[in-house]
Structure 1
Amino acid sequence: MRLDQFVSQAAAITRVDAQQAIRCGWVDVEGKTITKTSTHIDPTAAVTLDDALITLPGDIYLMLHKPAGVVSATEDPEHQTVLDLIDHPHRKTLRIVGRLDKDTTGLLLLTNDGDWLHRITAPKSHVPKTYLATLAWALTEEGAEQLRAGVQLHGEKGLTKPAEVEILPDQQARITISEGKYHQVKRMFAAVGNRVGALHRERIGGVVLDGELPPGEWRELAPVERETLP
């Protein structure tokens, strides 16, 4: 692991600040001062910054109730990002597990565990995701059956995988898909002649959005929740 990457993550500072600290001689590895930022070290090595021992954070798994108007990105020059909502000392090490559109709300997972992220988002995993859609018009049973069978998306070859669909009152529908195509849910409803006005993700695999978690708030996933995912 590169020394500047280690210091950045362990001290929860930017990579630029970590590089400056190394060049200034403030970082020791196993008692020896290292000033080359690209030096590769063992992540278990004893590293000190300004004589204080620093260590990498453990694996982090978070659930966020994403509000509308926030982008699923680590940084954005014009819009508030989901990371801006995370008050965690190692938030800059987090990556987003399956992004949501700016106007889509609901369950978002974040982690610094790259293997876990890949297992969930890999196409071959087929992790189911459940959404509550508010539609322009009430979904017909015929439209629901089309979605359950698979529909042709504009610009795509072949049909979508069969979805689970529940028609609800007030022009709403609950849909569960196991793919992750671009704007898939909105495009699926468009394929049956409808339009999504609002979209809210309720579940990823066995992880359900905490009903007591207000929009914009986050909490750590419980071990039992993590075990429901690949």
Structure 2
Amino acid sequence: MRLEIDRLSCRRSGRLLVEHLTLTVAGGEALVVRGQNGAGKSTLLATLAGRLKPASGTIRLIGDSSSTERREGEEDAPLAERAVLVGHRDGLKTALTATENLVFAAAMLGVPATPPQAVAALDDLGLVHVSDIPVGYLSAGQRRRVALARLILVDRPVWLLDEPTAALDATAQEDLAHLMQRQLARGGLIVAATHLPLGLDGARVLTLGGKSDGHDNSSGDSPSDGPGDLDAWEFSR
């Protein structure tokens, strides 16, 4: 399985943020997306997830059971059927319990899930003790882990993560790193936008609007004055 992005351009609120991006991410690989705030990291993830239409270019998932392509102007994003997006906002309903939130989120993605399955996903992230508590009563770190538990419950080969470690303490960050390593070991792929290390040795780095350091070990940003075009982005191992 591999994700192929060919000359992809992305707009948000009328602004061209990513321009002519071409790269491939294979199964078992992680791509860390870096860049200054406003460089287009979240917009790129939203486009890959089908939340936004690409301004131009193609996104293809090849070698999976639902190999698909999305072109400019198309209404549907079949890739989204094989991906899970956890955005920088948790996207939880505060009046619902952690379990209810997960079952609801899975249903919105077209995946039937039972409460026991949701509780098992929460258990993987150390949250079984809060499974029946409305998330409005949980800490920011606990809410973030509830959101990340969608990855386990929905179980898709492509993970799209926007600042996944936000609000997580050191232990929870280690748990997330193990979860991501497990996803890669089984041939899945990860695209993650973050300012912080993720604990993924050998992850490739794409820097929008600047130079790539080639490793997932930098917490700094690169300056950017405009869209990520062929002269303003680099990626490497």
TM-score category by the smaller chain? under 0.3
Q: Which has the larger radius of gyration?
A: 1
Q: TM-score, normalised by structure 2?
A: 0.24
Q: TM-score, normalised by structure 1?
A: 0.24
Select the structure that is richer in helix: 2
Instruction: Using CA pairs under 8 Å that are at least 6 residues apart, name the structure with larger relative contact order, 1 or 2.
Output: 2
